Amino acid sequence: MPSSTGLIEREKTAAHATDTGSGSLLLLRDRGKRIKRHWQLYLLVLLPLAYLVIFKYVPMYGAQIAFRDFSPVRGITGSEWVGLTNFNTFFKSPNFWMLIKNTLIISTYSLLIGFPAPIILALALNEVRSMRFKRFVQMVTFAPYFISTIVMVSMIILFLSPRLGFIDHILSAFGVEAVNFMGVPSYFSSIFVWSNVWQGIGYGAVIYLAALSGINTDLYEAARVDGASRIQKVWHIDIPGIMPAATILLILNVGQIMNVGFEKIYLMQNPLNTSTSEVISTYVYKIGLLGANFSFSAAVDLFNSVINLILLLSVNYFARRVSDSSLW
Amino acid sequence: MARTNAIRESFGDKLFLTIVYIFLSIILLAVLYPLIYILSSSFSSPQAVISGKVWLLPVDFSLAGYKAIFSNPQIMTGYGNSLFYTVCGVLINVCLTVMLAYPLSKSTFYGRHLIMVILIITMMFSGGLIPYYLTVKSLGILNTRWAMLLPGAMAVWQVIIARTFFQSSIPKELGEAAELDGCTDIGFLWRVVLPLSKPILAVLVLMYAVGHWNAYFDALIFLKTQGLFPLQIVLRNILILNSIDSSMMVDANKMAAMQGLRDLLKFSLIVVATVPVLAIYPFVQKYFVQGILIGSLKG
């Protein structure tokens, strides 16, 4: 076997791995032989690679539309180059601060509530000694994950509607007047975030439960001998035990902070709540595809993607500096 | 997780445990109640639903909502389309995923690091909605069934899951032995690797299938013709945009009854759309858990 095959099998080394073998001629010839012998593997990856190029990389190349004044007749590359004009228009538009503010409020709120919620559920489940109860709670809380966004939003609308929803039936039992929750702008982010928790808490807990079951039982034994209380065990053993998993997920979440999901927000919008519900992704869709203003909305989108990428890279850098866990 | 109770629990521990149980019970109820409420409402009479009589169990048991659904051509076409997109989509998904994941798992495959980088870049950065739409448009598949199958033909996350599985569960010696016996790479994949990989294939099929069944975004931006709409888009029109064609109300002669049926229909529709997925879920839960865990291994 050629020496380069024994290399460490991690993506981290990807960049180095390509140049280590380049030295000797012998190795090169060996590599050629290896490629020839395994030509079928290259045949296999052709189709998937074609997919990646067509549906991922061509659109990336097409993102230059943001710097052009798109005309359908002349195509993306044929349209006139206008530099940063589209970006300037966006920064100066009255919508700019509203969009940034709404996007940040919804995503930060989501992060603050949605990130710890599954951890708390997992820690609580880990204390339960009846396996049947534990499994039942796990099964039930995981189930809403399978509900589609459309059904989820219709459930929210039904439950919160002043006429049909059980929330208003409860309120009216206490003599409170019916409220059209979906029409009140200040409720929007809370409805969005807490319904996400309802739907995702069981799914999110799976990783933490696995991390908890992987904790060395000697630690619990030692803690018991030392007379630690349950809360102390949770605090000093369980929480440190899930920190690596939590760090990774936090990095991923922060990297997505400008990406509040289009699908759910778009469905939850109505004319009454747009002042707090309009975020960058829904704006891009409305201006771009519904309003056919391709270049301008592509610029808004690109601005968003770049901010996201910067956030992801810097959070990862920061996590690597302060702890052992990072994405790469 | 076998913790012995040799040492008696202190009062604090008992209190803590009680709080944990109460907390979990509240969560259990909070998740379960809305589901039960929907289910019970869907089996109640329209009058009981509008007047808010349904609390836990169906009131005035009736199947009016379900009758209205199954006599509605729009919903039935949507159901059929969704089935088609799910079955064909999953076939394409699994083929492409395995075709990429298997070579990536082989240490003898020169260039796999480069391909991994190509893959991971697509996870971190995308061209955005408009270029994506224009690409699909320029391929000439806008408003065809292909638009529902090709743009989402493979998911990077699933490729990584499958690759991790192949790497850790297929012994290297097996491949070397097969090579000595003159077995080709594709022959080995087909005759040895795939039969050994049933668990991961189940994970892939289920993850992709749920994704297809629940997706609406691609249909929203790519499809215009009603006859091509998947169930989710039909649901959106009825449940969220509230646009029900009055002709679909089968025996609704009176306006009041029609309004009631319209509300009831929403509950039944939610049930009908969600049942295919939720009904199989308890049996396949372990595969999803497996998928999440294999995925997190590499992270």
Looking at the partner chain, which of B21, B125, B292 has a beta carbon nearest the beta carbon of A207?
B292
For residue A94, is it within any domain? Answer: yes
Chain A residues closer than 8 Å to B50 by CB? 163-164
In chain B, the residue whose alpha carbon lies closest to the alpha carbon of A6 is B107
pTM: 0.85
Task: Please indicate whether, in this complex, the C-beta atoms of A60 and B3 are within 8 angstroms of each other.
Answer: no
Q: Which of residues 72-91 of B touch A (CB under 8 A)?
A: none
Task: Please indicate whether, in this complex, the C-beta atoms of A157 and B127 are within 8 angstroms of each other.
Answer: no
Domain that holds residue A287: 90-322
Q: Which two tokens stand for residue A229?
A: 């209380």
Chain A residues closer than 8 Å to B109 by CB? 38, 41
Question: Model confidence over A56-109: pLDDT tens digits?
Answer: 999 999 999 999 988 888 888 888 898 899 999 999 988 899 999 999 999 999
For residue A209, is it within any domain? Answer: yes
Give the number of domains in chain A.
1
**B280 half-sphere exposure, CB direction, 13 A CA radius:** 10
For A48, counting Cβ atoms within 10 Å of its Cβ (0-12 exposed, 13-18 middle, 19+ buried), the class is buried
Chain A residues closer than 8 Å to B183 by CB? none
Q: Confidence band (pLDDT; 50, 70, 90) for A151? A: very high
For residue A156, is it within any domain? Answer: yes
Contact indicator for B219, B233 with CB cutoff of 8 Å? yes
For residue A231, is it within any domain? Answer: yes
Domains of chain B, with CATH numbers? Answer: 11-70+250-298 (no CATH), 73-228 (1.10.3720.10)
- Preferred mutation among A56, A71, A87 to probe B, highest tally of B CBs within 10 A: A56
For residue A67, is it within any domain? Answer: no
For residue A20, is it within any domain? Answer: no
A69: enclosing H helix or E strand: strand A68-69
Angle in degrees, CA A114, B33, A192, rounded to 5: 30
| Interface pTM, i.e. ipTM | 0.86
B209-212's contacts with Cβ under 8 Å and 24+ in sequence apart are B209/B86, B209/B90, B210/A146, B210/B277, B211/B152, B211/B155, B212/B82, B212/B85, B212/B86, B212/B89, B212/B90, B212/B152
Contact indicator for A318, A310 with CB cutoff of 8 Å? no
Give the CATH number of the domain where residue A243 resides: 1.10.3720.10
At residue A80, what are phi and psi to the nearest 5 degrees?
Answer: -70, 140
Task: Please indicate whether, in this complex, the C-beta atoms of A297 and B129 are within 8 angstroms of each other.
Answer: yes
Task: Please indicate whether, in this complex, the C-beta atoms of A149 and B216 are within 8 angstroms of each other.
Answer: yes
In chain B, the residue whose alpha carbon lies closest to the alpha carbon of A142 is B285
- Preferred mutation among B130, B223, B262 to probe A, highest tally of A CBs within 10 A: B130
For residue A32, is it within any domain? Answer: no
Least-confidence region, from A197-206, B82-91, B108-117, B243-252: B243-252
pLDDT greater than 50 at residue B72: yes
Question: Model confidence over A299-325: pLDDT tens digits?
Answer: 999 998 888 888 888 888 887 887 766
For residue A26, is it within any domain? Answer: no
